[in-house]
């Protein structure tokens, strides 16, 4: 029962952590249920709920429209919410179909898979990749395809597309000129690109000579594996190398990437790249002594800055508290426990190999972390936004000593 609960939570929270082997421990029906849960989790609980309201009542109340609009992250009129939600579903299905086609054909042509098996495995892993689920049906995981760009690149691109966020994808589709992008799209694209480049370079440098990971590979294989390993911490959860054999420095770099996560209103977890990027801009403005925080000739409201700070600090606090609790419940060292906690909290799914060795109480804690990690940042940001109200007075100002 605990394995079933853990797997179901991991699937619906699109995490990918498992206590048992997915391919051999569950029947075909179990695999279908896991894929369906990843699909629902990827689309988003609030998006699915809004769609159900539309289907049942044929209309949305004002509050439901506002919540759906906040979830989709668009600046369209309230009358366009239904069309936005429809486009979200169509975009998800289209992305998954293209990924499934690429994976299925590769399995059929290069790995001699039976047509039915190639179709099913391609579809399952397309859903898992686009929704940042991280579940695989092969015992050796994606390591089976290490060095095969025709398998790894479609998976990586699907993870990136799903992790950018629907509003960003829609805006990029409407306009390819960076000068016309919104602040959210600019921060998301620039921060995601910077993290991918920096993560790839750092992981390749740290693991270049490691005989248990990138060491035996040639230069093209190292580049491909490094890029793939830098993409997956944003919430993908797949791996082509043994994560447990990576250096502690690589674990720490991956910890940071998992904590940041992907884009807002996306299938990814973490505090989101928009939160991280906005805090970086706030810090830069403070260092320069500027009174306002400006991005792309737009001033960021103070309320927006406080929301980003609240999400980040609460994320740090929860990560530290859960790591402390896991240290008391297990015999593993801090590096591995911190990695496991951030993987669950960021709904990533990467592991150093200790998930199946954890006691029942620790597994229950990870279940809670996955659930909080999936709904927490969205719920917190929505609650802070809905609680905004103007004050009719301001108290006298007094500065405190900082530092």
**Dihedral of the alpha carbons of 232, 236, 237, 243, in degrees to the nearest 10:** 0
pLDDT tens per residue, range 357-368: 899 999 999 999
pLDDT given for residue 295 in this prediction: 84
User: According to the model, what pLDDT value does residue 380 have?
Assistant: 65
Give one word for 139, left, alpha or beta, with left for phi > 0 and alpha for psi -120 to 50. Answer: alpha
Question: Is it the case that residue 390 has pLDDT exceeding 80?
Answer: no
Residue 196 has pLDDT above 70, yes or no: yes
Alpha carbons 42 and 49: distance in angstroms, whole number: 13
Residue 167 has pLDDT above 80, yes or no: no
Mean pLDDT of 174-179: 78
What's the whole-number mean pLDDT along residues 204-229? Answer: 93
pLDDT of residue 189: 92
The predicted structure's pLDDT at residue 374: 84
pLDDT at 387 over 70: no
Q: How distant, in Å, are the alpha carbons of 3, 151, 159, 243 from that of 7?
A: 6, 25, 20, 20
Q: What single string gives the DSSP state of each residue in 66-99?
A: HHHHHHHT--S-GGGHHHHHHHHHHHHHHHHHHH
- Has residue 371 got a pLDDT over 50? yes
Predicted local distance difference test score (pLDDT) of residue 66: 56
CA 122 to chain centre: 21
The Cα–Cα gap between 348 and 14 comes to 8
Q: What confidence tier does 127 reach under pLDDT thresholds 50, 70, 90?
A: very high
Instruction: Assess whether pLDDT exceeds 50 at residue 237.
Output: yes
Q: Above pLDDT 90, what percent of the chain?
A: 55
Stretch among 215-219, 252-256, 300-304, 327-331 having the lowest mean pLDDT: 300-304
Asked if 155 and 125 touch (Cβ cutoff 8 Å), the reply is yes
Strand partners, 298: 295
- Per-residue confidence (pLDDT) for residue 70, from 0 to 100: 54
Nearest to 377 by CA among 212, 288, 299, 266: 266
Are 355 and 247 contacting, i.e. CB atoms less than 8 angstroms apart?
no
DSSP symbol at 211 = T
Three-class SS of residue 294? strand
Where is pLDDT greater, at 151 or 64?
151
Phi, psi of 59 (to 5 degrees): -155, 155
pLDDT tens digits for range 30-58 = 999 999 999 988 877 656 555 554 544 44
- Average predicted confidence (pLDDT) for the chain: 85
pLDDT of the residue at 318 = 92
340 and 229 Cβ atoms separated by less than 8 Å: no
| 31 compared with 69, residue with greater pLDDT | 31
Give the end-to-end CA distance of the chain in Å, rounded to a whole number: 50
Angle at 352 between CA 197 and CA 200, to 5 degrees: 10
pLDDT tens-digit readout, 286-313 = 888 888 888 888 888 887 888 888 889 9
Q: Check residue 170 and give its pLDDT.
A: 79
Distance CA 302, CA 242 (A): 44
Q: How far, in Å, CA of 260 to CA of 245, rounded? A: 23
């Amino acid at each position: 029962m605990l394995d079933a609960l853990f797997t179901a939570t991991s699937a619906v929270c699109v995490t990918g952590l498992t206590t048992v082997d997915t391919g051999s421990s569950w029947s075909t029906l179990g695999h279908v249920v896991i894929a369906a849960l990843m699909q629902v989790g990827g689309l988003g609980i609030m998006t699915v709920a809004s769609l159900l309201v539309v289907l049942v009542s044929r209309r949305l109340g004002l509050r439901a429209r506002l919540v759906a609009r906040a979830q989709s992250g668009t600046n369209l009129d309230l009358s366009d919410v239904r069309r936005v939600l429809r486009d979200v579903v169509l975009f998800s299905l289209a992305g998954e179909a293209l990924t499934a086609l690429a994976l299925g054909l590769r399995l059929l042509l290069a790995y001699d898979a039976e047509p039915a098996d190639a179709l099913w495995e391609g579809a399952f892993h397309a859903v898992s990749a686009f929704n940042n689920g991280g579940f695989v049906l092969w015992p050796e995981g994606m390591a089976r395809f290490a060095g095969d760009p025709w398998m790894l690149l479609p998976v990586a691109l699907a993870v990136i597309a799903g992790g950018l966020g629907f509003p960003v994808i829609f805006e990029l589709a409407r306009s390819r000129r960076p000068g016309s992008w919104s602040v959210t799209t600019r921060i998301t694209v620039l921060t995601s690109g910077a993290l991918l480049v920096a993560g790839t370079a750092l992981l390749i440098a740290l693991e270049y000579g490691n005989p248990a990971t990138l060491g035996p590979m040639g230069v093209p294989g190292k580049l491909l594996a490094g890029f793939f390993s830098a993409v997956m911490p944003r919430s993908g959860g797949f791996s082509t190398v043994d994560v447990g054999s990576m250096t502690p420095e690589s674990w720490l770099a991956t910890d940071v990437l998992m904590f940041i996560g992907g884009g807002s209103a996306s299938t990814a977890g973490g505090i989101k790249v928009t939160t991280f990027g906005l805090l970086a801009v706030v810090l830069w403005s403070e260092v320069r002594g500027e009174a306002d925080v400006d991005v792309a000739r737009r001033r960021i409201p103070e309320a927006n800055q406080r929301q980003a700070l609240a999400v980040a600090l609460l994320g740090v606090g929860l990560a530290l508290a859960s790591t402390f609790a896991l240290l008391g419940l297990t015999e593993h060292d801090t590096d591995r426990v911190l990695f496991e906690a951030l993987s669950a909290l960021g709904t990533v799914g990467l592991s150093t190999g200790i998930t199946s060795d954890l006691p029942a109480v620790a597994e229950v804690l990870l279940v809670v972390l996955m659930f909080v990690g999936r709904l927490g940042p969205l719920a917190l940001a929505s609650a802070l936004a809905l609680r905004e109200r103007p004050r009719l007075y301001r108290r006298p100002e007094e500065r405190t000593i900082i530092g």
